[in-house]
A and B are shown apart, each in its own frame.
Chain A
Amino acid sequence: MADLKVNIANVEFANPLIGASGTVGFGHEYAEFYPLSTLGGISCKGITLKARPGNPPPRIAETPSGMLNAVGLQNPGVEHFVQEDLPWLKQQGTVVIANIAGSTPEDYCEMAERLSDTDVDMIELNISCPNVKQGGVQFGVTCEGVESITSQVRRHCRKPLMVKLSPNVADIAENAAAAEAAGADAVSLINTLTGMRINIQTHRPILHNNTGGLSGPAVFPVAVRMVWQTAQRVKIPVVGLGGITRWQDAVEMMLAGAAAFQVGTAFFTDPYAPVKILNGLKQYLDENKITSVTELTGKVEPW
C-alpha cells in the first residue's frame, strides 16, 4: 500500500487532498457524507475580521465545463469562526486551514494574530478573491503587493503561512517568488479566473456582481501550467488547485509540481469526488509501484 502522507510547512497531512476554500464551508455539510478525516485537510470558507453579508444574488452561473461564482466573502467573522466552528473542526481528524481575507493590511495582521492563539493548523492568506472590491486582491496583483502583505502578516503569524495566489496577473511565478522572499511557508494556486456571462434576452450579466470567478474543469489546464511554472521558480511547497475533478487530474497536478492539491468545484458535481479521487490515486500508485505519493511531485519530464 502506497503512503499518501505529505508534509507541507511542517504540517502532516494524512493525504494530499485538501477541500478548497469557499466550496466546503466549515465542513459541517460534507460530514454528512463521510468523516472529514477522509480529507487530508480542509481550507475553510474565507473569513474576514468582521462578518460580511456577501453579494446580492444571483451569485452563481454555469459555464461550459465550469461555473462562475460571486459570493463575495459572506462569512460570520473571525471571532465566530474561532468560537463556533474551530472547536468542532479540530475534532474531525483533518488538518484545519483558516483562509483569511481583508481590506487593509491591519485586518490581515489582526486576524493572523488572533488565529495564532488558536489551534488552527495553518493559515492561508487570501489575496486573490476576485469578487470583492476590497477583498484582498489589490494586494495580490503585483509582486510588490504580494511581498508587502506577506511580510506584514508574517510578523504576526505564528502558524505555518500559505499564500493563495491569483491567476489574474502578469506572472504568477514571480508573485510566488515574492511571497517566498517575504516569508511564506507555502503557496497555493490558482484562485479563480475572473469571468462574465450575459443574458442575451435581458442584456443583464447573469451575476449581480457582473463578474465572477471561473472554476471547474475549464480552468484545469491553466492551473497545471501555472503550478508547473511556479514549482520551478520557488523552493517552498506549491499546493495546486483549479478544476481537479478526477484522480487523473490530481496525479497530473502533482507531476506538474504540486506537493498537495485542493479540490473545490468537483464537490458540487459529486460530493463523493474526494473519495473517488483518493481511491484512484492509491490504485495508480500501487499499480506503478510508487511507495509514497510525494514521489510524484514535479516528476513531469518536459520536452
Chain B
Amino acid sequence: MRYDTELCRILAKKQLTKDIFDVTVSAPKLAPIAKPGQFAQILVPGKTLRRPISLCGIGRETFRLVFQVRGAGTKILSELQPGEKMDILAPLGKGFPLEGSATHAVFVGGGIGVPPLLCAAAAFSGERTAVLGFRSKNAAILADDFAACGCQVQIATDDGSLGTHGLVTDILKKQHFDICYACGPMPMLRAVAKLCAQRKIPCWISMEQRMACGIGACLGCAVELRREDDSSYYGHVCKDGPVFPADRVVL
C-alpha cells in the first residue's frame, strides 16, 4: 500500500494565529508509511474536492496538520473538534530526500509554507538551520518547534515586528549550508532557488497547485517542469511532487 483513506479521530486542536490551525489526528494505518514532505487530502463534509494539506508532523500513529483557513472548505475543517473524525487520503506525493552526503541543511519557509519543513527538519541528521519568514509577529508559527527539534532558528518579518526586518533571503545570504529545503510563496522560492543555483547548492522546493484527485489520475495540478535539454512540459504536483529539485521547475 502506497496510500489509502482512513477515518482519523482528532486528538488535539489549537489555534496558532488568527487563521492558522494546528490539528493532531490519529492515523494508525497511514502514519507508519508516511515520509516528510508528503501531503494528505482531507475530505470536507459537503464539498466535492478534498483539501491538500502538507504533513507538518508524522508520529508513530499520528499526523500533525497545520493549515490556514483560505476559503469555505478549510473553514469547515478548522471548525471540527477533538473527538470528531476527518476522512484522510494519505500519504501522497514524493517527500523531501533527506538522505545523502549533506551535513548542514537550511530549511527556508515562508508563511503557511513553513509546516512541511518542520517534519523534514525533525528527520534530517546533521546540522540544521531554519530560516522562517512571516508578514509580522502575529503571523509567526512553529519557531519553537524548530528550536525544540534542534534547529538554529532565524526569523524575518515584513514589518520587523519579530526577528530581522526584511526577507528570508537577506538572512540566507549570510548562512553557510550545503543543502536547502524550501516552501513558501513563489517570489520567495524564486529568490531562494537563484541563490542556491549561484552557490551550486542542491535546493528542493515544495509546490502547491489547485488539485482534484491527489494521486496522479486527473492531471489537474499541472506544474511546468524543465527537461535536461531545457524544453519544458507539464508534470503534476500530486504525483511528481510536491517536492521538486528547484532547477527542474519553471518558477
Mark A residues whose CB is within 8 Å of B: 22-25, 28-30, 32-33, 45, 53-63, 65-67, 69, 71, 74, 206, 216-217, 265, 267-272
Contacts and interface: CB of A to CB of B under 8 A. Distances in A.
14 contacts: A23-B218, A25-B219, A30-B217, A53-B234, A58-B210, A60-B210, A61-B210, A67-B212, A71-B219, A71-B220, A216-B48, A265-B212, A268-B212, A271-B5
Range for the number of chain B residues in contact with chain A: 20 to 34
Interface of B: 1-5, 43, 47-50, 73, 87, 89, 209-224, 233-234, 239
Contacts of A69: 212, 218, 220
B213 to A, nearest CB: 5
A269 B219 CA distance: 15
A61 B224 CA distance: 18
B233 A53 contact: yes
A268 B50 contact: yes
B222 A59 contact: yes
A60 B49 contact: yes
Given A69-B218, A269-B47, A270-B87, 17 more contacts: A22-B218, A23-B218, A25-B216, A25-B217, A25-B218, A32-B1, A57-B222, A57-B223, A60-B211, A60-B212, A62-B49, A62-B73, A71-B222, A216-B48, A217-B48, A268-B50, A270-B5
Nearest to B71: A62
A269 B213 CA distance: 8
A32 B3 contact: yes
B49 A74 contact: no
Interface of A is mostly: loop
Contacts of B89: 271
Contact of B219 (A28, A74, A268): A74
Contacts of B215: 29-30, 32, 271
A269 B217 contact: no
A270 B43 CA distance: 8
A67 B48 contact: yes
Nearest to A218: B48
A198 to B, nearest CB: 15
A32 B213 contact: no
Contact of A269 (B3, B50, B218, B223): B50
Contact of A272 (B5, B216, B221): B5
Contacts of A24: 217
